[in-house]
Amino acid sequence: MPAEIHPTAIIAPGAEIADNVKIGPCAVIDDNVYIGEGSVIDAFASIKRFTRIGKNNHIHSYASVGGEPQDLKFHGEESWLEIGDNNTIREFATLSRGTEGGGGLTRIGNNNLLMAYTHVAHDCMVDNFIVMSNGATLAGHVHLADGVIMGGLSAVHQFCRVGKNAFLGAMSGISQDLPPYMLCIGNRDGGVHGPNLVGLRRMKVGNETIAALKQAFRTIWLDGQPRQQALDELENKFHNVGEVLELISFIRSSERGIMPAARSDD
Protein backbone atom coordinates (compact mmCIF):
# COMPACT_ATOMS: atom_id res chain seq x y z
CA MET A 1 0.00 0.00 0.00
CA PRO A 2 1.24 3.52 -0.67
CA ALA A 3 2.10 5.81 2.22
CA GLU A 4 -0.81 7.52 3.94
CA ILE A 5 0.17 11.16 4.51
CA HIS A 6 -2.13 13.72 6.11
CA PRO A 7 -2.54 16.81 3.93
CA THR A 8 -1.24 19.11 6.68
CA ALA A 9 2.02 17.17 7.11
CA ILE A 10 5.11 18.93 5.75
CA ILE A 11 7.34 16.56 3.78
CA ALA A 12 10.58 17.91 2.28
CA PRO A 13 11.20 16.89 -1.34
CA GLY A 14 14.37 15.02 -0.40
CA ALA A 15 12.65 12.73 2.11
CA GLU A 16 12.10 9.07 1.17
CA ILE A 17 8.92 7.48 2.47
CA ALA A 18 8.43 3.72 2.00
CA ASP A 19 5.14 1.96 1.38
CA ASN A 20 2.56 1.55 4.13
CA VAL A 21 3.92 4.45 6.21
CA LYS A 22 1.38 6.63 8.02
CA ILE A 23 2.20 10.29 8.72
CA GLY A 24 -0.19 12.28 10.87
CA PRO A 25 -1.36 15.91 10.91
CA CYS A 26 1.30 18.64 11.08
CA ALA A 27 4.21 16.20 11.27
CA VAL A 28 7.42 17.63 9.77
CA ILE A 29 9.82 15.46 7.77
CA ASP A 30 13.08 17.08 6.60
CA ASP A 31 15.32 16.33 3.63
CA ASN A 32 17.79 13.44 3.92
CA VAL A 33 15.30 11.35 5.90
CA TYR A 34 14.31 7.77 5.12
CA ILE A 35 11.27 6.18 6.82
CA GLY A 36 10.90 2.40 6.44
CA GLU A 37 7.83 0.38 5.58
CA GLY A 38 5.03 0.14 8.12
CA SER A 39 6.25 2.97 10.35
CA VAL A 40 3.82 5.44 11.93
CA ILE A 41 4.67 9.10 12.53
CA ASP A 42 2.01 10.73 14.70
CA ALA A 43 0.73 14.30 14.66
CA PHE A 44 3.27 17.06 15.32
CA ALA A 45 6.26 14.72 15.43
CA SER A 46 9.45 16.12 13.88
CA ILE A 47 11.99 14.02 11.94
CA LYS A 48 15.13 16.05 11.31
CA ARG A 49 17.57 15.66 8.45
CA PHE A 50 20.19 12.91 8.33
CA THR A 51 17.87 10.40 9.98
CA ARG A 52 17.24 6.87 8.78
CA ILE A 53 14.32 4.95 10.30
CA GLY A 54 13.69 1.24 9.74
CA LYS A 55 10.47 -0.75 9.54
CA ASN A 56 7.44 -0.78 11.83
CA ASN A 57 8.49 2.00 14.16
CA HIS A 58 5.94 4.18 15.95
CA ILE A 59 7.02 7.74 16.69
CA HIS A 60 4.44 9.51 18.81
CA SER A 61 3.32 13.12 18.86
CA TYR A 62 5.84 15.88 19.61
CA ALA A 63 8.86 13.58 19.55
CA SER A 64 11.93 15.27 18.05
CA VAL A 65 14.02 12.71 16.21
CA GLY A 66 17.42 13.44 14.67
CA GLY A 67 18.00 16.90 16.09
CA GLU A 68 21.42 18.53 16.09
CA PRO A 69 23.69 17.43 18.94
CA GLN A 70 23.73 19.48 22.14
CA ASP A 71 27.51 19.68 21.97
CA LEU A 72 29.55 22.88 21.80
CA LYS A 73 32.07 21.11 19.57
CA PHE A 74 29.42 20.50 16.90
CA HIS A 75 29.67 22.91 13.97
CA GLY A 76 27.01 21.71 11.58
CA GLU A 77 28.89 18.81 10.00
CA GLU A 78 26.94 15.93 8.46
CA SER A 79 26.21 13.21 10.98
CA TRP A 80 23.44 10.67 11.35
CA LEU A 81 20.82 9.06 13.53
CA GLU A 82 19.95 5.49 12.58
CA ILE A 83 16.93 3.70 14.05
CA GLY A 84 16.29 -0.01 13.49
CA ASP A 85 12.95 -1.83 13.42
CA ASN A 86 9.95 -2.21 15.76
CA ASN A 87 10.77 0.65 18.11
CA THR A 88 8.27 2.75 20.04
CA ILE A 89 9.31 6.36 20.69
CA ARG A 90 6.82 8.15 22.89
CA GLU A 91 5.76 11.77 23.30
CA PHE A 92 8.42 14.51 23.67
CA ALA A 93 11.34 12.10 23.38
CA THR A 94 14.47 13.73 21.92
CA LEU A 95 17.04 11.76 19.93
CA SER A 96 20.18 13.55 18.69
CA ARG A 97 22.36 12.62 15.76
CA GLY A 98 26.10 12.00 16.14
CA THR A 99 29.18 14.21 16.13
CA GLU A 100 32.48 14.06 14.31
CA GLY A 101 34.26 13.25 17.57
CA GLY A 102 32.04 10.23 18.18
CA GLY A 103 32.13 8.71 14.71
CA GLY A 104 29.23 10.74 13.35
CA LEU A 105 26.50 8.29 14.34
CA THR A 106 23.85 7.79 17.01
CA ARG A 107 22.29 4.35 16.69
CA ILE A 108 19.08 2.86 18.06
CA GLY A 109 18.64 -0.89 17.53
CA ASN A 110 15.44 -2.95 17.41
CA ASN A 111 12.42 -3.58 19.64
CA ASN A 112 13.09 -0.75 22.07
CA LEU A 113 10.62 1.31 24.11
CA LEU A 114 11.63 4.91 24.75
CA MET A 115 8.93 6.41 26.93
CA ALA A 116 7.81 10.03 27.19
CA TYR A 117 10.48 12.73 27.68
CA THR A 118 13.40 10.34 27.29
CA HIS A 119 16.63 11.76 25.84
CA VAL A 120 19.29 9.97 23.79
CA ALA A 121 22.26 12.28 23.27
CA HIS A 122 24.81 12.35 20.46
CA ASP A 123 26.90 9.29 19.61
CA CYS A 124 24.96 6.92 21.88
CA MET A 125 24.55 3.26 20.98
CA VAL A 126 21.26 1.79 22.20
CA ASP A 127 21.06 -1.91 21.33
CA ASN A 128 17.91 -4.08 21.42
CA PHE A 129 14.94 -4.86 23.71
CA ILE A 130 15.72 -1.87 25.94
CA VAL A 131 13.23 0.07 28.05
CA MET A 132 13.93 3.70 28.92
CA SER A 133 11.18 4.78 31.30
CA ASN A 134 9.70 8.28 31.45
CA GLY A 135 12.35 10.99 31.67
CA ALA A 136 15.34 8.63 31.47
CA THR A 137 18.38 10.40 30.02
CA LEU A 138 21.58 9.36 28.27
CA ALA A 139 24.49 11.78 27.98
CA GLY A 140 26.77 11.56 24.95
CA HIS A 141 28.70 8.46 23.90
CA VAL A 142 26.75 6.07 26.17
CA HIS A 143 26.31 2.41 25.23
CA LEU A 144 23.28 0.44 26.46
CA ALA A 145 23.54 -3.30 25.76
CA ASP A 146 20.61 -5.62 25.02
CA GLY A 147 17.83 -5.84 27.57
CA VAL A 148 18.77 -2.89 29.78
CA ILE A 149 15.93 -1.29 31.76
CA MET A 150 16.22 2.30 32.99
CA GLY A 151 13.74 3.46 35.60
CA GLY A 152 11.96 6.82 35.41
CA LEU A 153 14.12 9.95 35.70
CA SER A 154 17.34 7.91 35.74
CA ALA A 155 20.50 9.14 34.00
CA VAL A 156 23.79 7.84 32.63
CA HIS A 157 26.96 9.97 32.50
CA GLN A 158 28.76 10.45 29.19
CA PHE A 159 31.06 7.66 27.98
CA CYS A 160 29.55 5.11 30.37
CA ARG A 161 28.44 1.61 29.42
CA VAL A 162 25.51 -0.35 30.83
CA GLY A 163 25.84 -4.10 30.34
CA LYS A 164 23.35 -6.66 29.10
CA ASN A 165 20.13 -7.01 31.13
CA ALA A 166 21.27 -4.59 33.82
CA PHE A 167 18.66 -2.56 35.70
CA LEU A 168 19.03 1.09 36.71
CA GLY A 169 16.45 2.10 39.28
CA ALA A 170 14.17 5.12 39.14
CA MET A 171 15.82 8.49 39.90
CA SER A 172 19.24 6.83 39.89
CA GLY A 173 22.34 8.25 38.26
CA ILE A 174 25.55 6.48 37.33
CA SER A 175 28.92 7.98 36.47
CA GLN A 176 30.79 4.68 35.96
CA ASP A 177 30.03 1.49 34.06
CA LEU A 178 27.22 -0.77 35.27
CA PRO A 179 28.13 -4.40 34.51
CA PRO A 180 25.73 -6.90 32.91
CA TYR A 181 23.01 -8.60 34.96
CA MET A 182 23.46 -6.19 37.90
CA LEU A 183 20.97 -3.89 39.62
CA CYS A 184 21.93 -0.36 40.64
CA ILE A 185 19.80 2.02 42.68
CA GLY A 186 20.61 5.42 44.14
CA ASN A 187 22.02 8.79 43.15
CA ARG A 188 25.66 9.30 42.22
CA ASP A 189 26.56 8.04 45.69
CA GLY A 190 24.48 4.90 45.16
CA GLY A 191 25.73 1.61 43.87
CA VAL A 192 25.24 -2.00 42.88
CA HIS A 193 22.87 -4.02 45.05
CA GLY A 194 23.44 -7.39 43.41
CA PRO A 195 22.15 -9.35 40.42
CA ASN A 196 18.99 -8.23 38.67
CA LEU A 197 17.01 -11.20 39.95
CA VAL A 198 13.64 -10.22 38.47
CA GLY A 199 15.19 -9.69 35.06
CA LEU A 200 17.13 -12.95 35.22
CA ARG A 201 14.00 -14.92 36.10
CA ARG A 202 12.06 -13.25 33.31
CA MET A 203 14.85 -14.43 31.00
CA LYS A 204 14.31 -17.95 32.41
CA VAL A 205 17.92 -18.12 33.59
CA GLY A 206 18.47 -21.27 35.66
CA ASN A 207 18.97 -21.30 39.41
CA GLU A 208 22.57 -22.50 39.12
CA THR A 209 23.47 -19.54 36.92
CA ILE A 210 21.73 -17.12 39.28
CA ALA A 211 23.64 -18.62 42.22
CA ALA A 212 26.90 -18.19 40.28
CA LEU A 213 26.09 -14.51 39.60
CA LYS A 214 25.30 -13.98 43.29
CA GLN A 215 28.68 -15.47 44.18
CA ALA A 216 30.35 -13.28 41.56
CA PHE A 217 28.73 -10.18 43.06
CA ARG A 218 29.95 -11.06 46.55
CA THR A 219 33.46 -11.83 45.32
CA ILE A 220 33.85 -8.70 43.19
CA TRP A 221 32.07 -6.09 45.29
CA LEU A 222 31.96 -7.29 48.90
CA ASP A 223 34.90 -9.55 49.78
CA GLY A 224 37.52 -6.81 49.71
CA GLN A 225 40.14 -8.69 47.74
CA PRO A 226 42.02 -7.02 44.85
CA ARG A 227 39.85 -6.74 41.73
CA GLN A 228 42.15 -8.71 39.43
CA GLN A 229 42.48 -11.51 41.97
CA ALA A 230 38.70 -11.68 42.34
CA LEU A 231 38.18 -11.87 38.57
CA ASP A 232 40.83 -14.57 38.15
CA GLU A 233 39.26 -16.61 40.94
CA LEU A 234 35.80 -16.37 39.39
CA GLU A 235 37.07 -17.16 35.91
CA ASN A 236 38.67 -20.33 37.19
CA LYS A 237 35.64 -21.39 39.24
CA PHE A 238 32.90 -20.55 36.73
CA HIS A 239 34.69 -21.13 33.44
CA ASN A 240 31.60 -22.90 32.07
CA VAL A 241 29.04 -20.21 33.06
CA GLY A 242 28.69 -17.81 30.15
CA GLU A 243 26.98 -15.07 32.14
CA VAL A 244 29.78 -14.92 34.70
CA LEU A 245 32.41 -14.87 31.95
CA GLU A 246 30.52 -12.03 30.27
CA LEU A 247 30.50 -10.11 33.56
CA ILE A 248 34.26 -10.64 33.97
CA SER A 249 35.01 -9.56 30.41
CA PHE A 250 32.92 -6.40 30.81
CA ILE A 251 34.74 -5.38 33.99
CA ARG A 252 38.18 -6.05 32.52
CA SER A 253 37.40 -3.88 29.50
CA SER A 254 36.04 -0.96 31.52
CA GLU A 255 37.79 2.36 30.99
CA ARG A 256 35.75 4.43 33.45
CA GLY A 257 35.72 1.84 36.22
CA ILE A 258 32.60 0.13 37.52
CA MET A 259 29.96 1.32 39.93
CA PRO A 260 30.79 0.44 43.56
CA ALA A 261 28.63 -1.63 45.86
CA ALA A 262 25.66 0.11 47.44
CA ARG A 263 26.22 1.47 50.92
CA SER A 264 24.65 -0.56 53.68
CA ASP A 265 22.17 2.26 54.42
CA ASP A 266 20.94 2.52 50.80
* pLDDT recorded at residue 263: 79
Q: Is 151 marked active-site?
A: no
- Check 140, 186, 190, 199 and give the catalytic one: 140
Q: Is 223 marked active-site?
A: no
Q: Which amino acid is at 190?
A: G
* pLDDT recorded at residue 188: 66
Q: Say if 64 falls within a structural domain.
A: yes
To the nearest 10°, report the CA torsion of 139, 143, 146, 152: -20
Domain count, the chain: 2
Q: Say if 207 falls within a structural domain.
A: yes
* pLDDT recorded at residue 265: 57
Q: Say if 83 falls within a structural domain.
A: yes
- Check 123, 143, 147, 193 and give the catalytic one: 123
Q: Could you state, in chain order, the average pLDDT of each consecutive group of 10 residues for the chain (266 residues)?
A: 96 98 98 98 98 98 98 95 99 98 97 98 98 98 98 97 98 96 84 96 96 98 96 98 98 97 73
Cα distances (angstroms) measured from residue 244 to each of 226, 253, 256, 257: 18, 14, 20, 18
* pLDDT recorded at residue 54: 98
* pLDDT recorded at residue 264: 66
Q: Is 109 marked active-site?
A: no
Same domain, 131 and 214: no
- Structural domain harbouring 111: 4-144
* Rounded Cα gap, residues 125 and 95, in angstroms: 11
Q: How many CB atoms within 10 Å of residue 14?
A: 11
In order, the DSSP letters of 196-229 are -HHHHHHTT--HHHHHHHHHHHIIIIIS---HHH
